[in-house]
Amino acid sequence: MWRLPRALCVHAAKTSKLPGPWSRPAAFMSTLLINQPQYAWLKELGLREENEGVYNGSWGGRGEVITTYCPANNEPIARVRQASVADYEETVKKAKEAWKIWADVSLEMGKILVEGVGEVQEYVDICDYAVGLSRMIGGPILPSERPGHALIEQWNPVGLVGIITAFNFPVAVYGWNNAIAMICGNVCLWKGAPTTSLISVAVTKIIAKVLEDNKLPGAICSLTCGGADIGTAMAKDEQVNLLSFTGSTQVGKQVALMVQERFGRSLLELGGNNAIIAFEDADLSLVVPSALFAAVGTAGQRCTTARRLFVHESIHDEVVNRLKKAYAQIRVGNPWDSNVLYGPLHTKQSVSMFLGAVEEAKKEGGTVVYGGKVMDRPGNYVEPTIVIGLAHDASIAHTETFAPILYVFKFKNEEEVFAWNNEVKQGLSSSIFTKDLGRIFRWLGPKGSDCGIVNVNIPTSGAEIGGAFGGEKHTGGGRESGSDAWKHYMRRST
């Protein structure tokens, strides 16, 4: 049974540079969650107290050892030996060798081998989608000006795709990239977030088994757990033909510059500062649960989380009151309980950022009408928070804080609120709630939302694999998953 939720693998603490095998005091090892009976399923996934974080056909790792912690109680789960720069270089070499085999297999068979189960159903879905897509990728045959000739548009794999993923979707985002890259004929090198290294190892073990069972080189889907040194190496390495990076805008800018310096390709999925707009004709029975789900889901740690809620002045007070009542009914608790909607933040640092943002909102004239505090319970739990009274252009409202803070604003008319939606630097997701068909088409048109994902009467969070996922401006401009996002992973010749 596969159960390794995002909430499980978190805060990474460096503990050792000693080469393996690694000795630890027996008393300490017994305190790891992996050794407790209720977490026996971790070992069913092939995880151990000490795990090797490099895979290139064989497992290894000569870097630092990190400990991962559970954000629900801050107890240690297990340890992972990360990659050294030498491990990275060796893995790239093996991945390049594996590409010579995989490029031919993909072209001949037209489908991927792995439809692994994962923490997120989306990985399974994208594998299913990719299998079908592999039979449809093609280029047109065009008439030529030269007699007796034709123009053929040919698409070929780029080669090695580097994939750097964030903590909040440690499986799905890798799946989006991995499945599509593979059916295009590429090999992949994955570096997950250091704080979710156990998930990276567990997923790679599943993929490795599928590849090895089919007598294919394991290096087709390589893994190098590591920190900024490995990420920098990937960004600067000319052998990495495409680098897909998911993370903050600040780090994404650095990655983009390093890749561009070598005239490489990058696919960036960065920050979001997403808005919901509720007009006076909106169905409030849709607005309230949608705003709650978008603002509080994943404890506000999605790139598509709703952080701004613009409400027409005629219904502002009613919406805020309904939201407060809805927030009071949120079930908080163990993230593995199917009845719980709201769990902990990822790390203690995330809690500090939450508190800092709440204080800054107050300084800028905002009023906290719900939440705003740390919960009195083990783990990294904070109260889901609603802030009103800020100016639409307040600096804190233009800053993406990865936490469950919703800023609510009043607006007067369509023109001003469309402009307010677009005035932030990010451009990922947006949504309006209205019954006016004319307004809906204006929202979808050139003078409407400037985001990559434009919704009507549904939340900002979430995405369907059949469409291209990504955003504009400081969100990076990249597109993953469906539609023609596959073109990122291929090179075109005519």
What are the tens digits of pLDDT across the range 387-436?
999 999 999 999 999 999 999 999 999 999 999 999 999 999 999 999 99
Give me the catalytic one of 269, 383, 400, 480: 269
Q: What is the pLDDT of residues 257-309, one digit of tens each?
A: 999 999 999 999 999 999 999 999 999 999 999 999 999 988 999 999 999 99
User: In this structure, how many other beta carbons lie within 10 angstroms of the beta carbon of residue 370?
Assistant: 18
421/306 Cα distance (integer angstroms): 12
Q: What is the model's pLDDT at position 107?
A: 31
The predicted structure's pLDDT at residue 105: 53
Cβ pair 199, 39 in contact under 8 A: no
The answer to whether the CB of 448 falls within 8 A of the CB of 455 is no
Q: What is the pLDDT of residue 151?
A: 96
Q: Is the pLDDT of residue 12 over 70?
A: no
Average pLDDT of the chain, as a whole number: 90
pLDDT at residue 122, as a whole number: 83
Contacts of 229 (CB under 8 A, 6+ apart): 85
Strands 468-469 and 480-481: antiparallel
What DSSP character marks residue 429?
Answer: E
Q: Which of 164-168, 402-406, 463-467 has the lowest mean pLDDT?
A: 463-467
- Tens digit of each residue's pLDDT (9 = 90 or more) over 236-261: 999 999 999 999 999 999 999 999 99
DSSP 19: P
**Interaxial angle between packed helices 197-213 and 172-183, expressed in degrees from 0 to 180 and rounded to the nearest 10:** 30
269 counts as catalytic: yes
Mean pLDDT along residues 209-220: 94
Long-range contacts of residues 227-231, Cβ cutoff 8 Å, at least 24 apart: 227/82, 227/194, 229/85, 230/82, 230/83, 230/85, 230/88, 230/191, 231/164, 231/191, 231/255
What φ, ψ does residue 442 adopt, rounded to 5°? -65, -40
> For 330-375, how does the pLDDT look when each residue is reduced to its tens digit (9 = 90+)?
999 888 777 788 889 999 999 999 999 999 999 999 999 999 999 9
Instruction: Write down all domains in the chain, each with its CATH number in brackets.
Output: 13-51+61-81 (no CATH), 85-270+476-493 (3.40.605.10), 274-464 (3.40.309.10)
Please tell me the predicted confidence (pLDDT) of residue 82.
Answer: 97
In angstroms, rounded to a whole number, what is the distance separating the alpha carbons of residues 291 and 75? 32
* Structure confidence by residue, pLDDT tens digits, 83-121: 999 999 999 999 999 988 887 753 322 212 222 233 457
- pLDDT at 111 (0 to 100): 16
Q: Which helix (H) or strand (E) holds 319?
A: helix 316-328
Look at residue 169 in the predicted model and tell me its pLDDT: 87
Mean pLDDT of 123-150: 93
Q: What pLDDT, on the 0 to 100 scale, is given for residue 138?
A: 86
* pLDDT at residue 30, as a whole number: 60
Asked, as a colleague might, if the bond just before 289 is cis with ω within 30 of 0, I would say no
The pLDDT tens digits of the residues spanning 22-45 come to 444 444 556 899 999 999 989 999
- Which residues 6+ apart lie within 8 Å of 37 measured at CB? none
Q: What confidence tens digit (pLDDT) does each residue in 202-211 have?
A: 999 999 999 9
Q: What is the CB neighbour count within 10 angstroms for residue 265?
A: 16
Per-residue tokens: 364 = 């800028």
The whole-number pLDDT of residue 10 equals 43
Percent of the chain with pLDDT over 90: 80
Under 8 Å between Cβ of 275 and 430: yes
φ, ψ (nearest 5 deg) of residue 135:
-95, 0
Average pLDDT over residues 471-480: 96
Side by side, the strands of the sheet bearing 76-81 are: 13-16, 65-69, 76-81, 50-52
Q: What pLDDT, on the 0 to 100 scale, is given for residue 384?
A: 97
Task: Give the dihedral sign, CA 493/270/277/435.
Answer: positive
pLDDT of residue 120: 58
> Model confidence at 15, in pLDDT bands (50, 70, 90)?
very low
pLDDT at residue number 8:
40
